[in-house]
Amino acid sequence: MKNTKAKNNDARITKPPLLEGVWERLQASNPLLQAFSGIHQTAPFTAIKIEHYLPAFDAAIDEAKKEVQEIIDNPASPDFANTIVSLDLAGERLNRIQSVFFNLNSADTSDEMQNIAQEVSPKLSDFGNDITLNKQLFDRIKTVHDQRESLLLNAEESTLLEKTYRRFVRSGANLNETDKAKYREITKELSQLGLKYQQNVLAETNAYELLITDKKDLSGLPDSIIEMAAQTAQSKGKEGWLFNLQFPSYVPFLKYADNRILREQIFRASSSRANHGNENDNKDLIRRIVDLKIEKAHLLGFRTHAAYKLQERMAETPEKVIQFLGDLHLKSKPFAEKEFAEIQEFAERAGFSGRIQRWDWAYYSEKLKSERYNYTDEEVKPYLQLEKVIEGVFSLARKLYGLQLIENTNIEVYHPDVTAYEVYNEENEFIAVLYLDFFPRESKRSGAWMTDYRSQSNVKGNPIRPHISLVTNFSKPTENSPSMLTFDEVTTFLHEFGHGLHGMLSQCQFPGTSGTNVYWDFVELPSQIHENWAYEKEWLDQFAVHYQTGEKLPEELIQKIQKAQNFQAAYMMERQISFALLDMAYYNREMPVSGDLKEFEMQAISSTDLFEPVDGSLQSTSFSHIFSGGYDAGYYSYKWAEVLDADAFSVFQEKGIFNRETADSFRRNILEKGGSEHPAILYQAFRGQEATAVALLKRNGLED
């Protein structure tokens, strides 16, 4: 079987064409196979049914194979246009179907969709391997690549050529036939394991409920959280107040609930997800995922999976990442230990005895912050009504980049909670479609993310503008109050909107270089830099008003927020470093993970951990970022990009936070350029120099 697969690598990659008339009938009955005819060619969400997906995938894969085979069979000598560009454009219909399906599988899934994902992922893996392991196709690419010095390509064209060539090499194009067959097996299995991991996390998240029937157990919780819990219970046909592991419920409970026993219970439930030895347990999946990635790295000539991934990152090597994390750790650990001691002392002054545990941290931290800065998150929330925050974020886009965002209710959406906007520039030219999806539901995975349903390109005078989606899990409105955000949720909105700007403002030529198709440790720069405006009075004054009185967010309260910006900054840095170290522990290794995963995890993060271990708690089994979210050997990129964002924002601080000249430079050199050039070149074009950690350490109060 393996040898048969290997020998087929050089064969024609098309299947027999569909029988005459079959394609036409299939296309006529399947909206996924038709030209999207909605406003701006948006997806026809309301017409798409669950039964459309599998036939659409099968037909689109066949079509994409035919398009690639035409490149291979082209009798003309390989050149940049007929090989590299044509390959970048091949499979457009399949890409569109994948975007719709997998985006909805994250934002509005079902058991049926998850089953389809498991069925279609191996097909997509096979299709990808059929392309990258095809010798005839790679020979054409290599011919063009070998001639690159004489082709007179511009920067973006050179980038696409190099990116295409390296993608094939990194996907096994130079392997012998036996190893190509092995590579196919590994990638196919990995495509299924990542999906299963995420499905298990979602199932475990949805399985837990904390039903409170005694009102005294609600002590300490804000009225808005109590009302939300009552509404959740009512929606489930239950009496009392229902809490769950969704962030808008879980985080406030840990922060405000006086009942320590219940805080411990909900914390243990969250921290032990997919670690119960049941059908949703992820431990064996983790071992298998890590083992397969090690095997794939070795097959491709790399010592570790981290070395493989970092070859195409700004950090370049695992050694640089470890050194980077170590330098930050040396700076932050002494401050983090001091912050921990402060919380311990504060808790004892408040009557607590013993060593504080993980389920105590948020509770006493919030009380200390309230005492020290004389404000709480709940004081700020009434001034951060979601609709007003949306206005504020849109006004920021207008001031910095001249954008106008206009809701269009005629654009189809995939769920009643979703709103769609048209985005225009100052010349009233259409720029993008933006979908906003704010509220949690059982069909949506946790967290917040940006994605796209169509990427930007402009090949041969055919401008394609992007369709961008931002997905979060903010608190829903209740019967008595609108959706009000915490300050942290405002920064989350700004973060994802920054990603969205990276996609919306892209002005690249090729799909493969546009938008967020950049190095993983550079992609967080546009998102993280926009978080900085949350602390600026000049921006908050534009929208932050009390939802009942219309009173502006008081200047005194803004000053308290600014002063509290560095509250427990070192602790948070150590926490992020611990995640990055755990990531590197799994992926910067040459041998499979053996022994108990809890012990492995504790050893990986021991230098950063300030708490006693918790029985049953295991970060790894719900660490979706690195096992199903693409951040494998890349979690460090949040801190890496934070260095960039602090350094870059210092220019705005120097010249004015709404300075159009600075914003135009950031737009022109960063947001519009996507991955058209190496990120170091793009950053220096904006900043005029390489980034240093000075601004970040200063911002976090870790350096004078």
**Mean pLDDT taken over the chain:** 94
Tens of pLDDT along 455-480?
999 998 899 999 999 999 999 998 88
68 contact partners, CB below 8 Å, separation of at least 6 = 13, 87, 90, 91, 131, 134, 137
Q: How many CB atoms lie within 10 A of CB 467?
A: 27
Q: Which residue has the tokens 């041969």?
A: 460
Higher per-residue pLDDT: 690 or 357: 357
* pTM, entire model: 0.93
Task: Name the burial class of residue 601, with classes exposed (0-12), middle (13-18) and buried (19+) by CB atoms within 10 angstroms of its CB.
Answer: buried
Residue position matching structure tokens 């654009």 = 411
Task: Decide yes or no: CATH 1.10.150.650 for domain 2-174.
Answer: no
Domain spans of the chain, in order of start: 2-174, 208-271
Tell which phi-psi region holds residue 243, choosing left (phi > 0), alpha (psi between -120 and 50) or beta.
beta
Structure tokens at 99: 């975007």
Asked whether the CA dihedral 681, 684, 689, 694 is positive or negative, the reply is: negative
* Residue 392 CB burial class (10 angstroms; 0-12, 13-18, ≥19): buried
In contact, 366 and 376? CB cutoff 8 Å: yes
Q: Please state, in angstroms and as integers, the Cα–Cα distance from residue 474 to each residue in 254, 390, 640, 663, 673, following that order.
A: 16, 13, 27, 29, 31
Please say whether the beta carbons of 168 and 589 come within 8 A. Answer: no
Count of CB atoms situated within 10 Å of the CB of 137: 24
Average of pLDDT values for 29-35?
93
pLDDT of residue 700: 84
Nearest by Cα to 581 from 517, 626, 621, 524 = 626
**CA atoms within 13 Å, Cβ hemisphere of 424:** 9
697 CA to centre of own chain: 25
Q: SS3 string of 683-696?
A: HHHHHCCCCCCHHH
Q: What is the mean pLDDT of residues 393-422?
A: 98
Query: Where do the H-state alpha helices sit in 37-154?
Result: 53-73, 86-89, 92-107, 111-132, 135-146
* Per-residue pLDDT band at 7 (split at 50, 70, 90): very low
- Cα separation, 182 vs 296, whole angstroms: 9
φ, ψ for residue 420, nearest 5 deg: -120, 140
Write phi, then psi, for 423 (nearest 5 degrees).
-115, 130
Least confident of 109-118, 360-369, 638-647, 688-697: 688-697
The neighbour count for residue 347, using CB atoms within 10 Å, is 21
User: Quick check: helix, strand or coil at residue 119?
Assistant: helix
pLDDT in tens, 651-670: 999 999 999 999 999 999 99
Q: Are 597 and 620 in contact (CB under 8 A)?
A: yes
Report, as an integer, the average pLDDT of 234-247: 96
Q: Say which residues have a Cβ less than 8 Å from residue 267's Cβ, sequence separation at least 6.
A: 254, 358, 359, 614
- pLDDT class for 5, splitting at 50, 70, 90? very low
Gap between the Cα atoms of 398 and 658, Å rounded: 10
Rounded to whole angstroms, the Cα distance separating 25 from 59 reads 12
CB atoms within 10 A of CB 245: 21
User: Are the C-beta atoms of 657 and 538 separated by less than 8 Å?
Assistant: yes
CB 84 within 8 A of CB 161: yes
- pLDDT tens digits for 597-645? 999 999 999 999 999 999 999 999 999 999 999 999 999 999 999 999 9
Mean pLDDT of 546-560: 96
Name the more confident of 2 and 134: 134
Confidence of residue 350 (pLDDT cuts 50, 70, 90): very high
What mean pLDDT comes out for the span 343-371? 96
Encode 177-189: b = buried (16+ Cβ within 10 Å), e = exposed.
beebbbbbbbbbb
List the beta bridge partners of residue 451: 469
* H helix or E strand, kind and range, residue 467: strand 467-471
Which band of pLDDT confidence, cut at 50, 70 and 90, is reported for residue 26? confident
3-state secondary structure of 379: helix
Nearest to 86 by CA among 104, 73, 67, 105: 67
Residue-wise pLDDT tens digits, 140-162: 999 999 999 999 999 999 999 99
The lowest-confidence range among 3-17, 92-106, 486-500 is 3-17
Write out the two tokens for 213.
Answer: 């029937």
pLDDT tens for residues 37-84? Answer: 899 999 999 999 999 999 999 999 999 999 999 999 999 999 999 999
Catalytic residue numbers, as ranges: 496
State yes or no: pLDDT of 15 exceeds 80. no
